Amino acid sequence: AQTVTQSQPEMSVQEAETVTLSCTYDTSESDYYLFWYKQPPSRQMILVIRQEAYKQQNATENRFSVNFQKAAKSFSLKISDSQLGDAAMYFCAYSFMGGSEKLVFGKGTKLTVNP
Amino acid sequence: DVKVTQSSRYLVKRTGEKVFLECVQDMDHENMFWYRQDPGLGLRLIYFSYDVKMKEKGDIPEGYSVSREKKERFSLILESASTNQTSMYLCASSTQQQGLGTEAFFGQGTRLTVV
């Protein structure tokens, strides 16, 4: 079974600084998706960034980028120029690239941004 | 804009009651999911459905059942609510169309308290 591990229950960063959240996963599949979701205090879960496993290039979305290491099964999220609005729970998730996919989540990392 | 709507944001029920949590999506998505979110445990999949009247057990189906009579609606049923089912419940939907990244869209969650 696929598993996703986030080893940092909590992280903090100063406003305008850079922070990296870690995620490792376990799968025997070769084609899959990896995601980072953000859940602010409002509880609305939103997608931050997505990576297809067959793509070697790391995904980037504005201040958010990933370091995808397929062989090491590692998928970290880097947040640059951190803003107060980045404070949230961040969940790493895995999905097999099939027709009826389900998302498997890590336990989450709570990010605090200090002014 | 994709919208996933959960019928209640907060719910308080008594032990032994039958509880219905409703979820509706407006994007014609094939897949729908029910997750339970508890502190330190992340999101755990209860049930998912990849088509009308089809359902599959997730990781923690005990004490729950689901119903999907129409494509847009996915209901989670607690046959006899117990205090250990006090939790946050998140509904999500996603498409099966290949190439669209299987991004899951989430509702705002229902915080259920069983007393």
For A36-77, the pLDDT digits (tens) are: 999 998 888 999 999 988 888 999 999 999 999 999 999 999
Closest residue of chain B to A41, computed from CA coordinates: B108
Could you tell me which residues come within 8 angstroms of residue B38 by beta carbon, excluding any fewer than 6 positions away?
Answer: B44, B87, B88
- Tell me whether residues A102 and B58 touch, CB distance under 8 A: yes
For B97-111, the pLDDT digits (tens) are: 665 556 889 999 999
Closest residue of chain A to B94, computed from CA coordinates: A101
DSSP state for residue A58 in the 8-state scheme: P
- For residues A36 and A77, the answer to whether their CB atoms sit within 8 Å is yes
How far is A11 from chain B, CA to nearest CA, in Å?
14
Could you tell me which residues come within 8 angstroms of residue B69 by beta carbon, excluding any fewer than 6 positions away?
Answer: B52, B53
Q: In chain A, what are the domain boundaries?
A: 3-107
For B65-105, the pLDDT digits (tens) are: 999 999 999 999 999 999 999 999 999 998 876 655 568 89
Of residues A6, A47, A100, nearest to B103 (C-beta): A47
Identity (one letter) of the amino acid at B91? C
How far is A32 from chain B, CA to nearest CA, in Å?
9
In this prediction, residue B101 carries a pLDDT of: 59
Question: A5-40 in b/e burial notation, b at 16+ Cβ within 10 A?
Answer: ebebeebebeeeeebebbbbbebeeeebbbbbbbbe
All residues of chain A having their beta carbon less than 8 Å from the beta carbon of residue B4 are: none
Could you tell me which residues come within 8 angstroms of residue B98 by beta carbon, excluding any fewer than 6 positions away?
Answer: A99
Closest residue of chain A to B110, computed from CA coordinates: A43
Could you tell me which residues come within 8 angstroms of residue A67 by beta carbon, excluding any fewer than 6 positions away?
Answer: A20, A58, A74, A75, A76, A78
SS3 (DSSP) at B47: strand
From 2.60.40.10, 2.70.98.10, 3.30.70.920, 3.40.50.1220, which CATH number describes the A3-107 domain? 2.60.40.10
In this prediction, residue B100 carries a pLDDT of: 56
In this prediction, residue A54 carries a pLDDT of: 87
In this prediction, residue A99 carries a pLDDT of: 53
Cα A39 to Cα B91: distance, rounded to the nearest angstrom:
14
Phi-psi region of A84 (alpha: psi -120 to 50; beta: other; left: phi over 0): alpha
Cα B115 to Cα B82: distance, rounded to the nearest angstrom:
8
Residues of chain A that touch chain B, judged by Cβ-Cβ distance less than 8 Å = 6, 9, 33, 35, 42-47, 50, 52, 91, 95, 97, 99-108
What are A37's two structure tokens? 């979701």
pLDDT at A98 over 90: no
Structural fold of domain B4-114: Immunoglobulin-like (2.60.40)
For B7-41, the pLDDT digits (tens) are: 999 999 999 999 999 999 999 988 999 999 999 89
- For residues B79 and B63, the answer to whether their CB atoms sit within 8 Å is yes
Cα-to-chain-centroid distance, residue A48 = 8
Cα A29 to Cα A26: distance, rounded to the nearest angstrom:
9
Of residues A6, A100, A103, nearest to B104 (C-beta): A103
